[in-house]
Structure 1
Amino acid sequence: MQPSILPAALCALLLLLINPAAAQFQFFEQMFNPGGGAPHAPQNAASDSSWFQAQYENALCDKYLCPHTLSCVHFPHHCPCAFPAVEDKVELGDGSMICVSKDGWKREGAAGKVELARKGLL
């Protein structure tokens, strides 16, 4: 071999060994950071109600728009609770409804507590 070809061959061999390793690291980088670039910290929600007001004003509803879930229903007492896993819906006698944190002990515990509160016993 000529002396000038030996360094070129070593460089080529070295590149062949390094290239797959670099591709492997790129794969893991894309897997753990799919958006590319530097990871972004999550942003806090705004401390005012402007975002919610904009959503409320832009919601399309030809019936009753529930103010806490932006659901479109026929009557106010048909509105769902925003967090049904932890809230019970209680329909009030005046055609409205409220969402109350679930009791945890009784199936209808929240509704019972609302009824006791309406009677002034709680």
Structure 2
Amino acid sequence: MGLINYLTALLLFLLPVTAQFQFFEHMFNGQQQQQASQPQNAGSDSAWYQQHYEAAHCDKYLCPHTLSCVHFAHHCPCAFPAVEDKVEFGDGSMVCVSKGGWAAGEAGRKVELARKGVL
């Protein structure tokens, strides 16, 4: 009976120790998995943009700021239409400018004044 008591005592000692190590292993692995699943900051170079630009298929005009495929350059959408106004020029080009002031189309009027050299 001495051997059985010894083995029982040994098992009772080892089981909590094993469970404790499994607890810490799961806890630290869980933190590593959480860290790995968090989004990474965008790169500080233009490699991401160039990769998407080169992969974009467009048989017409590829808008450089939105990568939209349109028939003409002045058809390009603004990247942030909620805060930008699109101003089209007579030469077939366009520009997106931050909305300004309280009146609708105010940004466009300011661009026109700037083109005329008044502003």
TM-score normalised to structure 2 length: 0.70
Counterpart of 1:21 in structure 2: which amino acid? F
Unaligned 5+ segments in structure 1 are none
Give the Cα separation in 2 of the matches to 1:86 and 1:50.
27
Residue in 1 that maps onto 2:89: 92
Give the Cα separation in 2 of the matches to 1:27 and 1:55.
34
Counterpart of 1:114 in structure 2: which amino acid? V
Percent of residue pairs identical: 52
Give the Cα separation in 2 of the matches to 1:43 and 1:55.
14
Residue in 1 that maps onto 2:68: 71
Unaligned 5+ segments in structure 2 are none
Residue in 2 that maps onto 1:116: 113
For 1:5-24, list aligned pairs within 5 A. 5-15=7-17, 17-18=19-20, 21-22=23-24
For residue 6 of structure 1, report the CA deviation from its aligned partner. Answer: 4.4
Give the Cα separation in 1 of the matches to 2:10 and 2:118.
92
Residue in 1 that maps onto 2:44: 45
Question: What secondary structure does 1:93 align onto?
Answer: coil
Counterpart of 2:43 in structure 1: which amino acid? N
